[in-house]
Amino acid sequence: MITININCELNKVLHYRCSKDFILNKHVILISSISLKNSAGFRKSVKRLSNLKYFIDPEVEHVLVFATGTKFFDYDIYLNRHILLMDKASCLPCLALSPPPGSTVLDACAAPGNKTICLANYLKNKGVLYAIELNRRRFKELNANLKSAGVKCAHTLNDDFLTVALPFDEIDYVLLDPSCSGSGIRNRADDTKVIDEERLERLSALQTRMITHVMTKFSKVKRVTYSTCSIYSQENEQVVETILDQFSDTFQLVDFLPEWPSRGQTERTRACLRASPDDTLTNGFFVACFERIIKIDIQ
């Protein structure tokens, strides 16, 4: 799947005249979205796609769906960064957050920058977008990707999210996609045969600490997304349950895609989304969206 980049709107991409006539070529066919209104119809439509046929994703804004194996790398539309190659599941945290233009947003673990670019799309490059990356090499990669994508609103920081000084009271939205086991990535499928419980415990503790940092330090934050490319409940539902236990008076889960077929595995996490190759034709993924509870004082 591809997502439309910040420097090119959807209607421009659909009519983009690249050197090899990629999108405009008469042999490139836009498939009707009529059959995509439910998950079964979506899966059926995707599996029927052939080379140079595509459709507009019915759920995630700015996303076009192409057949597996479509070769983009020889086309100007890709080389000029008008499109960004992404798995659909990776776009879900940005959709859940949906920060309006002019907002102040934080991408807490930003490299390589794909989600940062998606956030800039929602902001329409208007507002402030902090992007933090601790690793120096990945920080350079982040900056290069944001520059080539035309992102103008980002302020990048090579620092530790848990200790960096930020204007905490000014940040409206936080996207947290921290280090995880990566067990949902399809080419790592063999790694899931042996579960390292100690590693999962360490990751879960770090993930919980990072969300707790957001909930306690960012006093004006309106919405927070937590996501992993993990299939394990230790990194997903269990982390969310812990946060709900601690912050149920101030934050609640948002069910942002109620028709999504695969949900959180416990009663309290039904609003969370899961994705998988079988259910959604994506990598394994998990998304939770927290929203601050607005309390009204009644005198």
Q: Is 113 annotated as a binding residue?
A: yes
119: CATH: 3.40.50.150
Contact 202, 232 (CB under 8 A): no
pLDDT top residue among 259 and 99: 99
Helices 114-123 and 88-97: crossing angle in degrees, nearest 10, is 40
Reply yes or no on whether the pLDDT at 12 is more than 70. no
pLDDT top residue among 57 and 61: 57
Is residue 297 domain-resident? Answer: no
Asked whether residue 167 falls in the same domain as residue 277, the answer is yes
Contact 36, 45 (CB under 8 A): yes
Residue appearing with tokens 């990776």? 90
Is residue 298 domain-resident? Answer: no
Which token pair is 163?
Answer: 């200790």
Q: Is 111 annotated as a binding residue?
A: yes
Residue 161 burial (CB < 10 Å; 0-12/13-18/19+)? buried
Range of the domain at 35: 2-85
- How many independent structural domains does the chain possess? 2
Contact 110, 212 (CB under 8 A): no
Domain boundary among 57, 85, 113: 85
Asked whether residue 59 falls in the same domain as residue 111, the answer is no
pLDDT the model gives residue 7: 52
Q: Is 114 annotated as a binding residue?
A: yes
Q: Is 110 annotated as a binding residue?
A: yes
Which stretch of 17-26, 202-211, 289-298 has the lowest confidence by average pLDDT?
Answer: 17-26
Domain boundary among 85, 106, 137: 85
The single residue of 91, 153, 180, 229 carrying the catalytic annotation is 229
Instruction: List, for residues 140-197, the tens digit of each pLDDT value.
Output: 999 999 998 899 999 999 999 999 999 999 999 999 999 999 999 987 654 556 789 9
Q: CA 138, 143, 145 angle in degrees (round to 5)?
A: 90
Q: Assess whether 289 carries a catalytic annotation.
A: no
Q: Is 144 annotated as a binding residue?
A: no
Amino acid, res. 6: I
